[in-house]
Structure 1
Amino acid sequence: MRGKQRILGLVVALLALQLGSLISPAYACGCGAMIPDRASRIGVQRETSVVHWDARSRTEQIVMRFSVRGTAREAAWIMPVPGRADVELGDPYLFEELRELTAPEHRTRHYFWPRSGDWPFGGGGDSAAAPAPGAAPDAAAPPVGVVGRERLGDFDVARLTATDPDALRDWLDDNGFELPERLSGELRPYVEQKWEYVAVRLAPEERGAALYGTLDPLRITFTSERPVYPMRLSRLATTPQSLGLYVLSEHRMEPRGTIGGDAPEVTYAGEIAAEGAVGELTGRGSGEGNGGGGREGDGDRGARLFLTAVEQEFPEPGRIDGDHELRAANADTPYRQVVFHDRLLTIGGEVPVWLVTAVGVPAVASALLWGLRRRRAVRSAA
């Protein structure tokens, strides 16, 4: 009887935990605020973005792709940008190209003596791979202005201006979504700096479909005095955040600081060819450079394209205290992760060298000793 009660209690606890996850919305993602409707839940599992910075024209492009899970059939996503933005669908192949370009290099290194898992200690095969170290608001402007609105696949995109964060919240409420009270305060620094906003309604064209899996990427283009990646709104997240960032420019790039997360980790840095989706994004598919982030006095180096891949974790999103500002590194030092696969040194792929050595050396030594003794015996007899 007690066993049945324990099982029943465990089932009730699991159901309560599941119910709690369904009614607990995740409001933030790595670059903005993800706002579901009142009765739904949505969470961003992974955010991967590409930043292309053109220092000559002061133009920045951000292509972002989200992997989400939840029960929401509609949601809104808000991203502040420092200038007037154009929005279109991005090329999904861009991320595949960049993933292949930045993939770690795999190397094999051999070891002599057997380790745990090798015979005679049991099992066999490879050990686990290990990575190598390696301004004031304009009084004449309306509180919220709609610059443009268009439908892009599953996205209903509105480009907005705002001189009052509360008015922006009201606009979103009037369009069917509830804005968290705290987010209004987090938007105030952007309003004071006269930033604009990209508001996206995530509404699948298939009626009744839930937002789940990898969404189509969005490509946002705007002017800026310096390359930035908006992150401040992510401080509203209730779960740890993970950011993967590809930066395309003329030089190796790096964030100026940690902005409240773990230290950013560079997983790849190197010069690449502007081909395929990368060439289309940067406008260099024909082989002609049209600019890129860089230092002054580069002359004819405009066609050079450098790729930097950065990973960063935010275990406590509430500590995020700003946006990522990107800058050129002190040197264009190339870097690529190396994954080593340790293998036991063998002969013919089967016989361990240590075994041959352990058996062969004593045998040879014994034969030499036997020969030496026999030689001495022959001499003595003579």
Structure 2
Amino acid sequence: MGMRYAMRSLVVTVGVALAAGSGAVMSANACACGGVVSGDSSARVNSESAVLGWDGRRETVLMRLGMRFTGADAALIVPTPTPATVSAGSADSFRELARVTAPERVTEYDWFGSGSLGGDASSAAPGSGPDVLSQVQLGPLEATTLRGGDLTGIREWLDTNGYQLRPEVSATLDPYLREGWSFVAMRLTSAKPLSGALDPVRITFDSDRLVYPMRMSAAATTPQSVHLYVFSDHRVTRLDPDTDRHTVATEFAAPVGEPSDPDLRALAAGHDYLTELSIYIPDPATITSDFLLGPAATDTPVRDRLVSKEYVEILGLPAGYVLIVAALSLIGVLASVILRRRSAR
């Protein structure tokens, strides 16, 4: 969602469209997946983190949203290439990712006192409704897997079940429907105010490529930020046609071994090269394709460094200069002694 919008790579609200409430639908924050809306503007996504894993046949998305919610219903729609299985994830997965990708701390010793401390809807004919394949309750979230139907039928189902999307957002469902995709519809069912990170949600589906659904984000009205973690055999980058229109930064890339967190270990499935991508999309209208992820040109490691300087002093003076003066003085004394001995001969 607007990430505050981060997505994909395995916990990613793969193309999520947030919606909520009844009555006049008003826009709240936009999100990387399409939009955050609420009938009373009470639902806001403060952060979205995602992790991706793919074994060549099946993809897993682990998603965690940070939300502030005080109103009625809030919901999101996630397109998937095939019907998905939805289950609960663990916050421990994200704690481990934060630890593994944290900047390397380096101490540099300054002997000369130079440098500085730093670091780098209208009426319509009835449509064909979707098939409800499964429905699970994950804490305050209800997740329903949908397959089939047409745009009118999907809209009717969503409206009947308390999901209200802006027309421009629901219109972005149509390309996915025409391509035979399925959807996961998730909505908050708790009446209690929520503030902070929701428990992660795991979405697993068959796919012949590593894809992060993004086309619904074209309906957003503000710049989008997407944060992805991807486990693979190699360093990963975006390969889709929209790549050059967006800013893509590799924040971390390196082999990390087998994760200690069991959920991450299952997600990685033996693929131990972790890539962390930050993507900024200044104009959502430039989104015409989903994110396609594949091997980068090289496996060159990337990791931020936090450099701190430690000043070495002797008697309150830069140690480098003191030692140089001392060395020159010693050389002078030795030279004087040698000359005297030669003169004495």
Q: TM-score, normalising length from structure 2?
A: 0.77
Structure 2 residue 201 is the aligned partner of structure 1 residue 218: yes
- Partners of 1:82 and 1:316 in 2: CA distance: 25
Once the two structures are TM-superposed, the CA of residue 259 in structure 1 deviates from its matched residue by 6.9
Aligned partner letter, 1:29: C
Larger proportion of helix: 1
- Partners of 1:247 and 1:32 in 2: CA distance: 22
The CA deviation string for residues 98-145 of structure 1, in whole angstroms up to 9 with x for no partner, is 1111222111123344358xxxxxxxxx61221xxxxxxxxxx93322
Residue 272 of structure 1 aligns to a residue whose secondary structure is coil
Unaligned runs of 5+ in 1: 1-22, 117-125, 131-140, 285-302
Which residue of 2 is the match for residue 91 of structure 1?
90
Question: Does the Cα contact within 8 Å between 1:27 and 1:236 map onto a contact in 2?
Answer: no
Residue 239 of structure 1 aligns to a residue whose secondary structure is coil
Once the two structures are TM-superposed, the CA of residue 253 in structure 1 deviates from its matched residue by 1.9
The CA deviation string for residues 214-248 of structure 1, in whole angstroms up to 9 with x for no partner, is 11110000001101111222233333332221111
Written as runs of structure 1 = structure 2, the 5 A alignment for 1:222-301 is 222-257=205-240, 258=243, 260-278=245-263, 280-282=265-267
Once the two structures are TM-superposed, the CA of residue 324 in structure 1 deviates from its matched residue by 0.8
- State which structure, 1 or 2, has the greater radius of gyration over its C-alpha atoms: 1
Which residue of 2 is the match for residue 337 of structure 1?
304
187-196 vs 163-172, which moves further: 163-172
Which residue of 1 is the match for residue 78 of structure 2?
79
Aligned partner letter, 2:153: A
Unaligned runs of 5+ in 2: 1-24, 121-126
**CA distance change for structure 1 residues 234 and 212 in 2, over 3 Å: closer, same or farther?**
farther
**CA distance change for structure 1 residues 28 and 54 in 2, over 3 Å: closer, same or farther?**
farther
Written as runs of structure 1 = structure 2, the 5 A alignment for 1:1-382 is 25-26=27-28, 28-31=30-33, 33-36=35-38, 38-55=39-56, 58-115=57-114, 127-130=117-120, 142-204=128-190, 207=191, 209-257=192-240, 258=243, 260-278=245-263, 280-282=265-267, 303-347=270-314, 351-353=317-319, 356=322, 364=329
- Partners of 1:259 and 1:144 in 2: CA distance: 36
The CA deviation string for residues 63-118 of structure 1, in whole angstroms up to 9 with x for no partner, is 010112354342010110000100011111111111111222111123344358xx
Question: Does the Cα contact within 8 Å between 1:30 and 1:47 map onto a contact in 2?
Answer: no
Aligned residue pairs total 308
Once the two structures are TM-superposed, the CA of residue 354 in structure 1 deviates from its matched residue by 5.0
214-223 vs 141-150, which moves further: 141-150
Question: Does the Cα contact within 8 Å between 1:87 and 1:221 map onto a contact in 2?
Answer: yes
**CA distance change for structure 1 residues 114 and 197 in 2, over 3 Å: closer, same or farther?**
same
**CA distance change for structure 1 residues 46 and 343 in 2, over 3 Å: closer, same or farther?**
same
Once the two structures are TM-superposed, the CA of residue 262 in structure 1 deviates from its matched residue by 1.1
Residue 163 of structure 1 aligns to a residue whose secondary structure is coil
Question: Does the Cα contact within 8 Å between 2:34 and 2:218 map onto a contact in 1?
Answer: no
The CA deviation string for residues 29-67 of structure 1, in whole angstroms up to 9 with x for no partner, is 33455443x123323222111111011xx1000001011
Larger proportion of strand: 2
Question: Does the Cα contact within 8 Å between 1:267 and 1:311 map onto a contact in 2?
Answer: no
**CA distance change for structure 1 residues 265 and 335 in 2, over 3 Å: closer, same or farther?**
closer
Once the two structures are TM-superposed, the CA of residue 281 in structure 1 deviates from its matched residue by 2.6
Once the two structures are TM-superposed, the CA of residue 278 in structure 1 deviates from its matched residue by 4.4
- Partners of 1:128 and 1:89 in 2: CA distance: 40
- Partners of 2:221 and 2:45 in 1: CA distance: 11
Once the two structures are TM-superposed, the CA of residue 202 in structure 1 deviates from its matched residue by 1.8
Aligned partner letter, 1:96: R
Sequence identity percentage:
34
Which residue of 2 is the match for residue 137 of structure 1?
none
